[in-house]
Structure 1
């Protein structure tokens, strides 16, 4: 990755969420101050001798190759195909000529959509458009190149369309000047410029001239459907290299004179290194050195296995300050939070008091354990540190913040650190943290040679930043016709996103970030709890808590537990009202036809029998950031194992650019949700997880999963992100299915016992 100009970097480090959003006066002052800050940023791309930089998202080679610049991290979600497809469609490119290059760190690629979702609070909402603008400016000027939350396409769709349209206009102008015709008469299809007659020209033949032309005030977009790429199931650009093994992930990097490292970081919490056996490690063939820091120790060797074996023999001992995290303590803390003084009503509609007064109320309690990421690729980074600066190869969902943290750790200015962003072998949010890059850089500096640091799977599980554990107390009143007249959700949970921001943006240690968020009541912790149904009187209360377990960004984030609470409780109410579960939902979705359509489609395709006793059928519905979905499952127990015979999903996510990739993401989300429901979580005791081997986590096997069907509902709405959409729906759908199978309601996750 090319080095970006350093602008206001020292000052930006001080712009924490607290200083930015602490109050109206502070925010108003920043609005005035930012009004005079520079706003113009030029692309900081590197170009080869035959390449022309068209704009921040596009380079074109004289050979005709279309090089699309992508700022988002590819984690298997297909973003390095979908975003180029948008640009290539508007340009009129031949898909066979399209290539992808990762973007350098620059304000031009800031994801202010995710920043707004992440940083919005009561103050910014009170300021309205001004508060929204302030977060957007902060994101841009801090170069918050964040990947996550399914925001890639909604955030960058228009930018890539404009980039393609701009290139098409400039190329048409250049060709028209050679032909002596009006540029408006020219067009580009399949990579060839034509004037509507017999004359044709390759894109590469005029790209040098195109850069000298000027764009019109209003960009004309392509009309008609002939030769369009958008909406087509085009092959992924990253598939060939992943099939033939040439695709480089972090563990594939090889540098001259490079050595390998493994690491130990102690139990969860405020742990410091207390001692180890230096001499025992020296007996391993290939061992080179132990590198010690206050909170971790790494072994360096000529190969990773020797490094990891040396650590085993060194047997490092850590001192834990404070009480060790345990699941029993987590449960007690969450229950105690309901009686605390930090609870706050975050959503409210109508008046619940008169509805609940003197009425018969259905009340249920739910709980979920923390869910692990368990990505295919454990954290890994390669570093080379010299007197001139540092180079880091790693997969990161926050490259700007990772580079700044590495620079701070090394005592270097930001421009002295070059970060090469790599694709991730999965992530689900785990790569939002950058600690492996900092550790690799420090070890490389100590060794004086390039180092590749690879965490073991055990270390990955112990040091994971899982999704939040949560408890919920749900209450509702039904009317005589079965309609819900009042709904109250009380949720005790720490906020994983607040903790993640403290670590990623402010450099807080994990245990410190958890403590700082202990009394922060926020909508981020109860996302998915606002019911999508037409309930006249409802409210959601959040009770924050410090459970002693550092938490992190996760696929679906708080929607994972919020949707489980909401859709399980809706199912309970349907059975109490003696109304079939799908019809019970449909009758309250008159103002939400897209979600109602998803529900009826999933039920029709799945052969819904009404969830009758013994059917093993369950259903759930949800909407997230402009996307709508319903999931129906058929499930039962085979001995002590859950067997899911069928999963049917109906999704309305707008006009998808590449429907096949969207379908892949939905299928992946369904399996991720199944793992979350059954075993992607562990209990904790003594500051450590009680299980750390994947085979003992009750994760779903191929034999446990039957038919998976996905129906993409046609829509002309803007394309929405689908990465996070269906994963939260699987757990409540299975819980509801097991109720119809057994007659017993399961109100906790994981749904089945673990070995």
Structure 2
């Protein structure tokens, strides 16, 4: 174990495959989905470079460049994914570089499609659909889970080809050769990769690839330095806001409040009186000003005083009312086991209700895109987690063929799901086409907050029956929340024919809206119901998705049940984890490492655990309420089993970052609504953690040989319930609403 301390199926075709439908007269012939089709690599190759498929290039000087299709927004994929290939290749890490892969169906992320859009297409068609739609996606903690295999295979293939080329020179059996530190080696003979690359590219790849063996000279499992760090430290790394083009102008935008029907009026003369103002672009739901600098554009927007016609106004009260109505209305069963009705019949049950508010992404980088319109084509530079979907959306709004839209994906300053959306790309493209100049559009922080695609609010009514020995005999979770998964799919890929047919037959319930609600404990009789709520506010994917609130509901309720049963909270959980040994080990480890005292009154200790994307985590929190009635988190201890680890330093960074993000989700990062406008307009309105109040953090990585699981979102869900449980131990006050505000309920 590693410890850190710090602050901070088959291939046949059958009728079920070809015909997807539900109900009389509904169906879609999708034979195209099973026709074989191959795609060629479009990886750009510079002078003195040789490409080895779609993932790897080797230069004559020995430089190894790995192409990564994922968006690097701080989670470390520009390091961990190249490290997989470099380890299998036998490369020298000092000679390894990374570049953004071009948009190509070869890099489609089937797993991310399933995580972000569950139930969008039948599982048997999921891979083909992802490839045909070029669903290059970053999200759902899928990067390592999706691409470790292909990258290992690419590294093994290139290693075999290099060994064949070297063996041909030496007149030996290539299988007697090995690689290490950027060399092909046979006894005392050594040749650099760069010397062999051009010859090796012509070699055949063995039918049966073998992977490297042995523990010496390996990169996997080592804390290799991050490849993206130097550029971010010295400022040479380019983000979308760093793009500068000849004759480029800078644009700011004002969008109508939620519920806007159309732009009603503007004071154009006042805007043009602002020095530097060059262009005013009007749309049905927004107005933008382009100027010779962004400050002038924002000042002109203030002067333009836009008025919008609205269909209705959203308030915090209307959102809560919508959740109440949904929770008391019809729900759709999303998961179940056993006979819950019989278990509850005539029994005394324990009930509790919980709530979670809207949450903002609060990424450091504001929403931005740069666009150029030339000869009926458009090029865009933007941070995007879905470049293919952004391309399709821009093509649609401009009435262009997708071949006439070029997306240049950029590094992102955070994201947390924000850059799955592509509205800013459409806006920038429309402005560039109208003014016929390169334009960089940046939303102000107020626009970024007010027009976020928020983590949805949710309300839960939890009910359980306890047995005589304290065991949970029955469990019912009724969760009211917007159908965010349906909303996200409709917004991002609504034009897809196969997805459109699925919409015709899907129910009201949304699996994504209750993800993580299925209890991780051994409970024979349980059910999870989704009660769709229409709140009038657009919602989207947010770091860890619905797990961010379902874990709060579940782990808070488990703690309450433990108190009702008069069983210590750790023991209560362990007794129900017989089917989850990895999670049980995390829980035992965090209790031992953190000095768990049983959550006794006055201890200020709380505990929670969660399973997510093939990984497991337990968190112990120590928290208190200060004299100013503000929550102070004093200590967080986490134990993590995320399977086989490629780079422990990056994993530690992601867990620590997730824990701090989880504190933000527990104590702030939310907003109310007044008249269709978000109350939060800047970072100062979000009660984000600061260095001064960041707790002591301890992370334990548990050694495992299981396949890698997701990491970047893993630590977020259990933090809020651990803190809530700690506050109950400290004060005797049970907080059942996020954010956790003492006396706020």
Please say if 1:106 is aligned against 2:104: yes
> Hey, what does 1:50 align to over in structure 2?
48
Hey, what's the Cα distance between the residues in 1 that align with 2:675 and 2:244?
Answer: 38
Q: Which residue does 1:14 correspond to in 2?
A: none
Structure 2 distance, partners of 1:444, 1:30, is: 39
1:392 maps onto 2:380 in alignment: yes
1:482 to 462, 470, 486: 470
Per-residue deviation at 1:519?
Answer: 6.8
- Give 1:116 deviation, angstroms: 2.2
Contact kept, 8 Å, 1:492 with 1:544, in 2: the verdict is: yes
CA gap of 1:339–1:288, structure 2 versus 1, over 3 A, is same
Mapped to 2, the partners of 1:218 and 1:26 lie a distance apart of 48
| 2:182 is equivalent to residue 191 of structure 1 | yes
CA distance in 1: counterparts of 2:608 and 2:210, whole angstroms: 43
1:138-217 alignment runs, 5 A limit: 138-195=129-186, 197-217=187-207
Name the residue aligned to 2:665.
676
Structure 1, unaligned runs of 5 or more:
1-18, 125-130, 509-514
Give the 3-state SS of the residue equivalent to 2:640 in structure 1.
strand
Map of 1:561 onto structure 2: 549
Distance 1:139 1:270 in 2: 34
Task: Give the C-alpha shift of residue 408 in structure 1.
Answer: 2.1
Question: Is 2:344 the partner of 1:356?
Answer: yes
1:603: how far off? 1.0
**CA-to-aligned-CA distance 1:643-677 (integer Å, 9 cap, x gap):** 11100010000011001101111111111111011
For residue 37 of structure 2, what is the aligned residue in structure 1?
A: 39
Deviation at 1:365, TM superposition (A): 0.6
Distance 2:343 2:460 in 1: 21
1:493–1:542 contact (8 Å) kept in structure 2? yes
Indicate if the aligned counterparts of 1:696 and 1:754 stay in contact, CA closer than 8 A. Answer: no
In structure 1, what is the Cα distance between the partners aligned to 2:504 and 2:537? 13
1:706 aligns with 2:695: yes
CA positional deviation for 1:28: 8.4
In structure 2, relative to structure 1, the CA distance for the partners of 1:26 and 1:611 (3 Å cut) is: farther
Give the match for residue 656 of structure 2. 667
Within-5 A mapping of 1:352-431: 352-431=340-419
**TM-score, normalization by structure 1:** 0.93
User: Displacement, 1:516?
Assistant: 11
Q: Is the 8 A contact 1:518 1:546 kept in 2?
A: no
The separation in 2 between residues aligned to 1:754 and 1:311, in whole angstroms, is 40
The alignment status of 1:132 with 2:123, answered yes or no, reads yes
Which residue of the partner structure matches residue 95 of structure 1?
93
Structure-2 residue corresponding to 1:5: none
- What is the aligned counterpart of 1:654 among 639, 643, 647? 643
Of 528, 531, 542, the match for 2:516:
528
Q: Deviations over 1:580-615 (max 9, x none)?
A: 101110011112111011111111111111000011
Which residue does the alignment assign to 1:640? Answer: 629
Offset at residue 119 of structure 1 (A): 3.7
Distance in structure 1 (CA, Å) of the matches to 2:713 and 2:65: 29
Within 5 Å, which residues of 2 pair with 1:489-568?
489-506=477-494, 520-568=508-556
1:686 alignment partner, one of 672, 675, 687:
675
2:262 maps to: 272
CA distance 1:280–1:349, change in 2 (3 Å): same
Contact 2:165–2:203 under 8 Å retained in 1:
yes
Displacement of 1:705 in angstroms is 2.1
In 1: Cα distance, 2:19 partner to 2:645 partner:
36
| Count of residue pairs brought into register by the alignment | 721
CA distance in 1, matches of 2:576, 2:290: 61
Matches of 1:753 and 1:163, distance apart in 2: 54
The alpha-carbon deviation at position 521 of structure 1 amounts to: 0.3
* Counterpart pick for 1:592 among 580, 583, 593: 580
Tell me how far apart the structure 2 counterparts of residues 55 and 20 of structure 1 sit (CA, whole Å): 35
| 8 A Cα contact 1:394 1:422, kept in partner | yes
Matched, 1:234 2:224: yes
Q: How does 1:598-609 map to 2 (within 5 A)?
A: 598-609=586-597
TM-score (norm 2): 0.94
Which residue of structure 1 lines up, in the alignment, with residue 719 of structure 2? 730
Structure 1 match to 2:275: 285
Give the Å deviation of 1:691.
Answer: 2.6
Uncovered stretches (5+) of structure 2, i.e. residues with no partner: 1-17, 497-502
Displacement, 1:454? 0.6
Shift of 1:517: 12
Question: Residue 117 of structure 2 contacts residue 512 of structure 2 at CA under 8 Å; is this kept in 1?
Answer: no
Instruction: Give, in whole Å, the separation in 1 of the partners of 2:276 and 2:495.
Output: 34
Deviation at 1:51, TM superposition (A): 1.3
> Alignment partner of 1:745: what SS?
coil
Distance in 2 between residues matched to 1:291 and 1:516, nearest whole Å: 37
Label 1:604 to 1:106 Cα distance change in 2 as closer, same or farther (>3 A): same
Task: Name which structure has the greater RCO, CA cutoff 8 Å, separation 6+.
Answer: 2
d(CA) in 2 for partners of 1:251 and 1:79?
21
Tell me if the contact between 1:393 and 1:420 (Cα under 8 Å) persists in the aligned partners.
yes
Name the counterpart of 1:9. Answer: none
Change (3 A) 1:750 1:414: same
What's the Cα RMSD here?
A: 2.1
Gap change, CA 1:389 and 1:33, over 3 Å in 2: closer
Kindly state the Cα deviation for residue 391 of structure 1 after the two structures are TM-superposed. Answer: 1.1
Q: Deviations over 1:489-546 (max 9, x none)?
A: 11111122221121111269xxxxxx99997202211111111111111111111121
> In structure 1, the residue corresponding to 2:513 is in which secondary structure?
helix
Residues 83-125 of structure 1: CA deviation (Å, up to 9, x unaligned): 000000000001111111111111100000111234443x96x
- Equivalent pair of 2:665/2:720 in contact (CA under 8 Å): yes
| Cα distance change, pair 21–575 in 1 and its aligned pair in 2 (3 A) | farther
For residue 629 of structure 1, what is the aligned residue in structure 2? Answer: 617
Query: How is 1:77-96 mapped onto 2 (pairs within 5 angstroms)?
Result: 77-96=75-94
- Cα distance between partner residues in 1 of 2:223 and 2:405: 39
